[in-house]
Structure 1
Amino acid sequence: MTRRGARLSPVRRRQRSAGTLQAQLYDRIRQAILSGALASGARLPSARAMALEAGVSRGTVDAAYARLSVEGFLVARGAAGTFVTTPLPIAAAFAPAAPPEPPRKEPRARAALRPFQIGVPAVDAFPVATWSRLLGRHARRARAGDLAGSDPCGDRALREAIAAHLAVSRGVVARAEQVMITGGYHGALGLLARALARPGDGAWFEEPGYHRARAALELAGLRLAAVPVDAEGLDVARGAALAPRARFAFVTPSHQMPLGMALSLPRRLALLAWARGADAWVIEDDYDGEFQRASAPLPALKSLDDQGRVIYAGTFSKSMFPALRLGFLVVPDGARDALARVASLLHPAPLLAVQRAAADFLGEGHFARHVRRMRALYAERHGALSRALEELSSPQLQVEEGTGGLHLIARLTGARDGEVVERASQLGLAPGALSSFYRSDPAEGRLDGLLLGFAALPASRAQKAVHRLAQAIAPSPPPRHHPLARTISVDVNGSGGRSARLRNPNRA
C-alpha cells in the first residue's frame, strides 16, 4: 500500500509532451520510489486497483510494473503482491532530491487535544469569554505612551499581581521589583543562560528530568550532571559528588517531572546548604504546583531561601493555557541587575495588552476561581482514567499512584515505551515515553513506561482511549484474510533459487 500522501493522481491523457500513458505511469512510480514517497519494501496496489487509481487500463499498469521490475525497482511475489525492492537500486542514491511534501492541514485544537498528551491542561474548560473580554479591554485602552515601548522586565501591574498571588498560594514573599516577566518557561531559561551562565559551566539536572529543558540548557553550552532522584526527590549527596562546584541546580521540588514525588524537607535544606557553600544558583521550576490532589499545594522551595540562592520560575501554561506563553521569574537581589540588563537587550516579555489582561485575571479573582474549578475537574478526569486502566487489567501495564500533577505514570513490562508511543500515535493517541526523560543508557537503570496526561481528556472519553491504548501496547496479529497470512514464500535451499509455498493451515 502506498504511504499516505503518495497517492497517484489520474494520468493526464492530453499532454502530448508527457509521452504515452505507460511512460507517464512508469515515471511517476519511479519518482515516488526515488523520493521516498514509496519506501523500500512498500507494497504497491494490485494492477486492478492501480488502474482505477491512476485512471488507465490494467494492461498499461502491467506494462509499467514489468518495466520497473526489469530495472530492479519492483519485485513481484506472486499472490502476496508487488513490492518496492529491498534494498533500493543504486540509482536511488544519485536521484535528485524531491521537494518536501507539504504538511497535512489539521485543526490545531484537534491536534492539541489528543488523548493522553502531557503538558496540556483542560483548555476546553478555560473561561475564554472572560479572557477575551479582559484582553479586548486593554487592547482598546492602549495609550500613545504604550505604543512607544514597555518595561523589558514586565508590566508593573502584572508583577504586583504575581507577587501577591505567590505570597498567598506558594509562600513566596517577594517585591514586585524581584519579579520578571518572560515568554514562558523556555523564555526564562534563555534569560538565565544569557545573564548568569558561561559556556562550560556545570549544572545539576534531575535524572530523569524534563527533556526539552535539558536540550535547551545543553544548547546554551552548560555541562549537565545527571543527578538521580529517588523517593525523596533529588539526591543532593550524589549531586555534590558528581559536580561539587556546579554553577546551577535545576530542580522540580514540588512535583518532580516526570516521576511526581516531592523533594523532602531534609533534601531541601541540604540543597540550600550546598548552594550557599558552592555559591551556586538553584533554579526552582514550579511548573504545576497549584495542582495537588492529596493535600494543599506544598510551599515552594523559595519560601525556605533566606540566603538569596533560589531563583523561582513559574508559568501560566498549565494553570491557564499553553499558547499564552507567559512565565515569570522571582529573582534574588544578587541576580536582579544581571537579568535586567539582558532583558533590556532581548525584551523577553509578551505584549503589553496580554500582560495587563493577565494582571486583571489574577487581581479580579478569575484565576483563583479557575484553579479551584480545575482541581475538581482534574480529580474527576483522574478518577475516570484510573478506573478505565484498572478495568483494562493488562499484565503489561502497572499504574503508579501520584499525589498531584496532570499525568499518570504506567510502567511497561515486555514492551518498549518508544515503540508503544509510536503505535499509539498512529491510533490518534499521544502518551509520553518515560525513557525519553532519561539521559542514561537502559543498562544504567532507565525504565520503560508511559506518561498518560488526563487533564485534557474528558471523563466520558477515558474508557475508549484506554481501549485504543491497549491496542498499541499489544497489537493484534494480522487478520486471517491478509495476503501474507494465506501464502508464505520460503527459500528452500537458501540460494535465492527454487522456492516452496506453505499454505496457512487455518484456511481450507
Structure 2
Amino acid sequence: MADLSFQLDAKLEEPLYIQIYQRFVSAIRNKHLSASQRVPSIRSLASELNISRGTVELAYQILINEGLFEAKGSAGTFISSKVGELITIQLSNLPTQQKNNIPQSIEINPLQLGTPALDAFPLSLWNKLSAQTMKRQNTQDLNMQSPQGDEDLRQSLVGYLAIARGIQCSAEQVFITSGYRASLFLISACLLQKGDQGWFENPGYFIARQFLKHLGMQLTHIPVDQEGICVAQGKVFAPQAKFVVVTPTHQSPLNVTLSLERRIELLKWAIQAQAWIIEDDYDSEFYYQGRIQPTLKSLDHKQRVIYCGTFSKTLFPSLRLSYIVVPSTHVQEFQNIAKILGSFPAHLPQKITHQFICEGHFARHLRKMRNLYRTRRQYLIMAIEQELSGILEITKHTGGMHIVATLLISLPVGEFISRLRIIGIEIQSMDHWYAELSLENHVLLGFTNIATAEMASDLCQQIKKAVFS
C-alpha cells in the first residue's frame, strides 16, 4: 500500500471513489503495481482509508469494467494480466495535455440522483449496433437530415408509445430533440409567447423552472399533495394561464402519482382555458408494483397535451436524445419552427437507437432495469430501516429512481448534506426544488447505482458515523 500513496482529500472536487481509481491507474502506469498482482480487499482498503466499503467498491467496479482489475471470487481481486496493453491504449487516446492527469471516467457519487445504472447498460451490444449502423451508412446519410428527426426512429417510437404508454399518434407528430430543455425550447417557440403565464409544480424540477424563466415565462407555483398538482388551487391562483408543466407519473421530486380524478380535472381546465399541458414523462418506465396510471396524452381527446419523453433515464444521459408528441393540428407549425431553429440532434445516434428499439433490445433492457431497480431500491430501503431508523424515515412510493426520506434528527438539512458530501456521498435536499425558501426536512437519495445489499449497508453506516461524529 505504501507504493500507492493513498492520501485522499475530501475537499477536492473529485469524489473519493474517483481519487481511489486515479491512484490505482497512476500506480499501474508508474509500474508500482504489476500484472496479476493481488490488490487489497474492499473491506481492508475501506478500513485503512476510514471510508465506506461502498465507495471503494464503486472505484473497484470502474477498474473492473475498464479491464484493469480482474475479480476472481474468493481468491480476491487482481491487476489484469493484460494491464500493460490497456494502459498504453488509454494513454495513447488522451490529448497531450492530459497524459499526466488521467481524467474521470464517470462522475457518479453514491446515492446521487438522476443517473441510470450505467454498470448494467449493454455496452458491447450497443457498440455492435453502432458498428453495424456505421457500415450501412451511405452518402445520403452524410447530407443534412430532417429537422424533425430520423423517420425510422420516429416510427419505432410510435409503436413503443402505443404499446407501453397507450398513446396513439403518427410518426409526423413525433419530433426528436437533443434533450428535455431542447424540447421545452421548441414547444415554447411554437405555442407560447414571452410573458405567458403558466402553472408549475411546487416543489418541481428546478432546471425546467429556471429554463422557462430564462425564456421569459411567468410561472405561478402550484402546490403538490399526495394526489399530485392541486388543480383547484391553480384555477384560483392563475385561471388564465396559457400552459402547465406536470410530471404526472412520478412527480419530480415527490414521486407521487397524479390521481385519475386530477388528470381529468386538469384536462377539463386546459380545454376550457385553451391552455397547453406539457406532460413530462421522464421515468415512467420504472414502476415496481401495481398498474401504472394512463398518460395524460392517452386521455387527451381535444389535442391539448404535448407529451415529452427522454432516453436519458432509460438508456444513458450522454446520448442526448429526447422526443415530443405534438397535436396533429400543429404539426406544420412545429416543422416550420424546427427547421428555423436547426438544433436537431446528430443522425447516427438516432439510427443506432432505432436499431436498439426495433430489434427488441429496448423492451428487454427496460424489463431488466425495472427488475434491477426494484432490487436496488429494496437494498437501500432495508439498509435505511436497519441502520438509520432514528435518522431517516422513508416515504414509500411505487416507482421512480430515488427515495424520499424525512430527516428525523435536529441537525439542519444543509449541515447533514455537507457532512455526507465530505465523505463522497451525494444526496439532495428538497429545498431547492421549491420556488421559495422552504423549511422542509426532506432529502432525496438515488438508489440506481447501489449494486449490492452490502454496499447499501456500508453507505448507511457511513452516514450514521458522519451524523454522530
Q: How far apart are residue 160 of structure 1 and its match?
A: 0.3
Q: Aligned pairs, how many?
A: 374
Residues 88-118 of structure 1: CA deviation (Å, up to 9, x unaligned):
xxxxxxxxxxxxxx9x967444422x11111
What displacement does 1:271 show? 0.4
Larger radius of gyration: 1
Match among 437, 443, 459 for residue 441 of structure 1: 437
Seen in structure 2, the aligned counterparts of structure 1 residues 261 and 422 have a Cα distance that, compared at 3 Å, is same
Q: Which residue number in structure 1 is paired with residue 81 of structure 2?
A: none
Q: Distance in 2 between matches of 1:274 and 1:435?
A: 29
Over 3 Å counting, the alpha-carbon distance change for 1:282 and 1:106 in structure 2 is: farther
Do residues 224 (structure 1) and 219 (structure 2) align? yes
Match of 2:313, SS? coil
Q: Which amino acid aligns with 1:248?
A: F
Whole-angstrom CA distance in 2 between matches of 1:419 and 1:220: 34
Cα drift, residue 396 of structure 1: 3.0
Aligned equivalent of 1:482 = none
Q: Is the 2:194–2:215 Cα contact (8 Å) retained in structure 1?
A: yes
The question of 1:257 aligning with 2:252 is answered yes
Equivalent residue for 1:99?
none
Are positions 1:246 and 2:241 aligned together?
Answer: yes
1:455 aligns with 2:448: yes
Residue ranges of structure 2 left out of the alignment (5+ in a row):
1-8, 13-97
For the pair 1:383 / 2:378, whether they are aligned, the reply is yes
Which secondary structure does the structure 1 equivalent of 2:344 belong to? coil
Does residue 1:424 correspond to 2:420, yes or no? Answer: yes
Match 1:467 to one of 436, 455, 461: 461
Structure 1 stretches of 5 or more lacking a match?
Answer: 6-101, 477-508
4+ runs of 1 displaced by more than 6 Å? none
Is residue 319 from structure 1 mapped to residue 306 from structure 2 by the alignment? no
Residue of structure 1 aligned with 2:299, choices 304, 307, 329: 304
Shift of 1:475: 4.4
Matched letter for residue 203 of structure 1: G
Partner of 1:144: 139
Question: Which residue is equivalent to 2:231?
Answer: 236
Distance 1:4 1:407, change over 3 A: closer
For residues 152-231 of structure 1, the aligned pairs below 5 Å read: 152-231=147-226
Indicate the RMSD between aligned Cα atoms, in angstroms: 2.0
In the TM superposition, 1:62-141 aligns within 5 A as: 107-112=103-108, 114-141=109-136
Shift of 1:3: 10
Is 1:276–1:307's contact at 8 Å kept on the other side of the alignment?
yes
Normalising by structure 2, we get a TM-score of 0.76
Distance (Å, rounded) in 1 between the aligned partners of 2:114 and 2:444: 10
Give the conservation status (yes or no) of the 8 Å contact 1:417–1:435. Answer: no
Say whether 1:353 aligns with 2:348.
Answer: yes
1:336, CA displacement in angstroms?
Answer: 2.2
TM-score, normalising length from structure 1?
Answer: 0.71
Q: Distance in 2 between matches of 1:475 and 1:125?
A: 35
Higher relative contact order (CA 8 A, sep 6+): 2
For the residue of structure 1 that corresponds to 2:411, the secondary structure is coil
Q: Is 1:367 equivalent to 2:359 in the alignment?
A: no
CA contact (8 A) 1:179 1:331 kept: yes
Quick one: distance in 2 between partners of 1:385 and 1:188? 33
Matched residue, 2:334: 339
The one-letter code of the counterpart of 1:457 is I
Pair 1:447–1:156, CA change in 2 (3 A): same
SS in 2 for 1:308: coil
Partner letter of residue 450 of structure 2? L
Aligned-pair identity in percent equals 40
Read off the aligned partner of 1:169 and give its amino acid letter. A
Q: Is the 8 A contact 1:206 1:227 kept in 2?
A: yes
The separation in 1 between residues aligned to 2:351 and 2:277, in whole angstroms, is: 29
Q: Secondary structure at the match of 2:221?
A: strand
Q: Distance between the aligned counterparts of 1:247 and 1:160, measured in 2?
A: 30
SS of 1:258's partner is coil
The amino acid across from 1:424 in the alignment is L
* Whole-Å separation in 1 of the counterparts to 2:137 and 2:269: 47
Instruction: Report the Cα offset of residue 344 of structure 1.
Output: 0.6
Q: Is the Cα contact below 8 Å between 1:290 and 1:371 reproduced in 2?
A: yes
CA distance in 2, matches of 1:365, 1:133: 15
Aligned to 1:57: none
1:396–1:415 CA contact under 8 A, matched in 2: no
Give the Cα–Cα distance (whole angstroms) in 1 for the partners of residues 223 and 328 of structure 2: 31
1:321 Cα deviation from its structure 2 partner: 0.8
The question of whether the paired residues in 1 share the 8 Å contact of 2:110 and 2:449 is answered with: yes
Native 8 Å contact 2:388 2:460 kept in 1: no
Q: Please report how far the alpha carbon of residue 324 of structure 1 lies from its aligned counterpart in structure 2 after TM superposition.
A: 0.9
2:22 is matched with none
Q: Name the CA distance, whole Å, in 2 between partners of 1:221 and 1:461.
A: 45
Residues 138/462 of structure 1: CA separation in 2 closer, same or farther (3 Å cut): same
1:132 match: secondary structure: helix
Kindly indicate whether the alpha-carbon contact (under 8 Å) linking 2:196 and 2:242 is maintained by their aligned counterparts in 1: yes
Contact 2:260–2:293 (CA under 8 A) maintained in structure 1 = no
Cα offsets for 1:316-344 (capped at 9, x unmatched): 11111111111000000233223222211
Deviation at 1:198, TM superposition (A): 1.3
